[in-house]
Amino acid sequence: MAGFPGLERKFRRGRPRGVRVCVSVLEKEEKIAREVLKPPREWRPQPWSLQCMCGNTMSVPLLTDAATVSGAERETAAVIFLHGLGDTGHSWADALSSIRLPHVKYICPHAPRIPVTLNMKMVMPSWFDLMGLSPDAPEDEAGIKKAAENIKALIEHEMKNGIPANRIVLGGFSQGGALSLYTALTCPHPLAGIVALSCWLPLHRAFPQAANGSAKDLTILQCHGELDPMVPVRFGALTAEKLRSVVTPARVQFKTYPGVMHSSCPQEMAAVKEFLEKLLPPV
């Protein structure tokens, strides 16, 4: 599904000051979201659990300052999670720290700052350009493919450091979830699965032909708020239908949450944790 605008934020951190989206209703939604999307107190991580990547990461730019949540034990699996438009990896590192598994490393890179057509060319964190609200709107094909290659480089970095592809889950929220779907489906390495929250499949007309042969074995958790005004839940349902034409249909879970807008909720995070526990057990 093509682009959706700027209320792609998670928990405490929002979009840059001064950014005004092109659809006025978003201003009201954001005001509500400032209160609604605050995580419960118990979701706040311990300060020592969040780190920034350092060391030999110059060949993988997204790792240079990515936010991470380290495992308490030897790390044998990894979750790479991509934030939404206008956000940073820090807010999702905060959220994932509340459901962390002791043997799993969580990596939350930051999108580059680029002009976004849908937001009047304002410069903000964005994985690729967004051009319209309609599923039939033009898409930034070159930008999507470039962003996917950067995420694949991050995956390969983890593989070189001892975590096999089948122990890596790729996930994201909204625009980040969209990129995680496209990247995992076209990745030459057989990943463990995908966590796709409040999102759509970019360049959906190219599938199933564009998918890598190993994509049929991917396990996918797709979650969506039933009151989402930015990426309507029916777009999520259409995405799930398309995904079942690409991967083994029984491997796609599509969960919806009553009363939830373009955000996450404790029930959704519990579902993510359960999914990861089954997909990435201790070894």
Q: What is the pLDDT of residues 81-96, one digit of tens each?
A: 999 999 999 999 999 9
Query: Please, which residues bridge with residue 82 across strands?
Result: 172
Host domain of residue 236: 25-279
Residue 206's nearest CA partner among 245, 248, 154, 153 is: 245
Distance CA 22, CA 27 (A): 10
Using pLDDT thresholds of 50, 70 and 90, give the confidence band for residue 132: confident
* Catalytic machinery residues: 174, 228, 262
- With respect to residue 78, please indicate whether it lies within any of the assigned structural domains: yes
- With respect to residue 267, please indicate whether it lies within any of the assigned structural domains: yes
- With respect to residue 11, please indicate whether it lies within any of the assigned structural domains: no
Query: Please, which residues bridge with residue 79 across strands?
Result: 106, 169
Question: Domain of 75: which CATH number?
Answer: 3.40.50.1820
Q: Is 93 or 56 the better-scoring residue by pLDDT?
A: 93
Q: Is 198 or 51 the better-scoring residue by pLDDT?
A: 198
Distance CA 250, CA 111 (A): 32
- With respect to residue 6, please indicate whether it lies within any of the assigned structural domains: no
- With respect to residue 165, please indicate whether it lies within any of the assigned structural domains: yes
Asked if residue 9 lies in contact with residue 86, where contact means CB atoms within 8 angstroms, the answer is yes
pLDDT at 60: 66
Q: Is 212 or 44 the better-scoring residue by pLDDT?
A: 212
| Tokens found for residue 168 | 């890596």
pLDDT at 192 over 60: yes
- With respect to residue 255, please indicate whether it lies within any of the assigned structural domains: yes
Please state the domain count of the chain. 1
pLDDT at 133: 65
Residue 62's nearest CA partner among 39, 83, 77, 35 is: 83
- With respect to residue 14, please indicate whether it lies within any of the assigned structural domains: no
- With respect to residue 5, please indicate whether it lies within any of the assigned structural domains: no
| Tokens found for residue 97 | 């720290």
Q: Report percent pLDDT > 70 for the chain.
A: 78
**Mean pLDDT confidence for 249-274:** 97
pLDDT, one tens digit per residue, over 138-172 is 999 999 999 999 999 999 999 999 999 999 999 99
